[in-house]
Each structure stands twice: as structure tokens, then as C-alpha cells.
Amino acid sequence: MEKTKIQSFITENRWFKAVPNALTLCNSLCGFAALLYIIRAFRVSDYNAQALFISAWIILGAMIFDALDGFAARIFNAASMRGMEMDSLADMVTFGVAPAAIIAVMAHSIKDATGAYDAYVYAMSGIYVSCAALRLATYNVHAILKDKPGENFSGLPSPGAAAGICSVLIFFNSAELYERFSIQLAAYLPIYAALLGLLMVSKIPYLHVGKWIFSARRSNHHFLIMLIILVLIGIFKIYAFAALVNIYIFSAPALALYKLLRRSKTDKLPQN
């Protein structure tokens, strides 16, 4: 009865239908704000690394809006083709272009960098952006063809890839290691970004974190794990978050490789 009343209230107040798109626009605005801070880091005569850290935090914050817009669309029965397209465009700006721009602008921090180094950084950033675009376009095609989504993602989702880059950057800043390892970070983070790009377009199954979180209310096991994760993040903050993000990123390829090797070993066993 209460559920019927809620549905009637939502139907009578049509402005609820605008909530998902408003959340998606907030995601887009976060991406725009992140790019403005990245430009600030690039334009100042004295390289301003803090502007990059702020942009990384903004990108992580945008993930809240990205998670809520789909949830709101289901709650308010407001799913639409326009909303889907807006979501992918917002993700491209916030989780595709902005993280790649962070990587590219970090090259600005290297004094006396050679043209070859710049080309290397821009190439790695380009791989990341290209893979993000390909992944989001593929996702839209499947949605248009009404392919039923599974419990897992096929390939690393773009917010997860962006979280990988941003969490590493913020970790080094929070641990006061950035000044000491800025050269090494600027050298190896582009490779990490390119690897994340390739994982985005891979067929490796990744856990759908949003669905997993919302299933916690129906599973004591999931609820306990989520509680432990929240406690770890509450105690260790960005250190735990960075570790958990990278565990999420690399556990899926590790599990896929393990299954492949196990299957290969099984196939080689003599058949009785």
C-alpha cells in the first residue's frame, strides 16, 4: 500500500523525472571544474601540483553523481534514451578526458623534458582517452540493442579507471611523497593510465559495484564486507581507498588469468 502511494506521488509530481538528468549534469559540471583546475596547473609559471590534486578530488566526487543518476532513474521510473546518452557524454568528460589531461599536464612538471618524453606521455594519455571513448560507445550500442546487462561489467568501467589514476595521485600527495617521487610518478603513471585504458576495452568481467552495494541489504555476507570496507576507509582514509581501488582493478585480471591457466592445465590432462 505504501509503495503504491509513493508511486502515485512520483507520478503526480513530474519534476521528479528531471532528477536523474540533473544528477548527470552535476557529473558533467564536475568534469568541467576538474578541467579548469588542470588548466590552472598548466598555465601558472610555477607548476602548481595542488591544482591537480584538487581536480583529482573533484573527479572522485563526480562518482557520487554518476552512481546516483542511474539509481534515481530506476526509483523515479525516468530511464530514457536521452538520459543514457547524457550519462555517457558526462562520463567521457569526467572519467575520460579529465584523468588523461591530468597525466598529460604532469609532463609540464618535468624540467628540461625532451620532446620524446612529451610524445610518450601524450601517446599514453591518448590511449586512455581512446579506450574510454570506445568503451562508452560500445556500452551505448548494447543499451540501444537492448542487450540485457549482466551482474558484471565487461571490462573495467570508466569511473573505476579514473579512480585508479586519481587515487594514486592523491595517495602520493597525502603521504607527502609527491615531491620526492614526482619524477618517477610522472614517468610511470602514463603507463598505468594506458594499461587502465586497455582494461576498459577488455572482455574481463568486473564486479558491478553499484549493484553489489544495493544487494548488501539482502545479503548479510555483502553487508559485513561493506561494513569492513567502510571501517577501513574511516580509519586509513585515502590509503585504504587507494588500496581497495587497485585491488578492484587488478583482482579481475588476476582471477581471469588464473581461470585461463587452470582451464589450460585441465585441457592438457589425459582423457580416460
Range list of H helices, 76-114? 81-91, 98-106
pTM: 0.88
- What span, in angstroms and rounded, lies between the C-alpha atoms of 93 and 75? 26
- Tell me: pLDDT of 224 over 80: yes
Would you say 61 and 32 are in contact if contact means Cβ atoms under 8 Å apart?
no
For cell 573495467, the residue is: 156
Residues recorded for the chain? 272
φ, ψ (nearest 5 deg) of residue 154: -95, 100
Give residue 1's pLDDT: 46
- What span, in angstroms and rounded, lies between the C-alpha atoms of 96 and 206? 18
- Tell me: pLDDT of 225 over 90: no
The residues spanned by each domain of the chain are: 2-208
**Residue 28 pLDDT level (bands cut at 50, 70, 90):** very high
- Tell me: pLDDT of 7 over 60: no
Would you say 90 and 25 are in contact if contact means Cβ atoms under 8 Å apart?
yes
Residue range 32-75, pLDDT digits in tens: 999 999 988 877 555 567 888 999 999 999 999 998 888 888 77
Q: Residue 153 pairs with which residues in a beta bridge?
A: 206
Q: Any residues with CB less than 8 A from the CB of 253 and at least 6 apart, and which?
A: 199, 202, 204
Q: What's the CATH fold of domain 2-208?
A: Four Helix Bundle (Hemerythrin (Met), subunit A) (1.20.120)
Residue range 92-113, pLDDT digits in tens: 999 999 999 999 888 777 655 6
What 3-state DSSP class applies to 79? coil
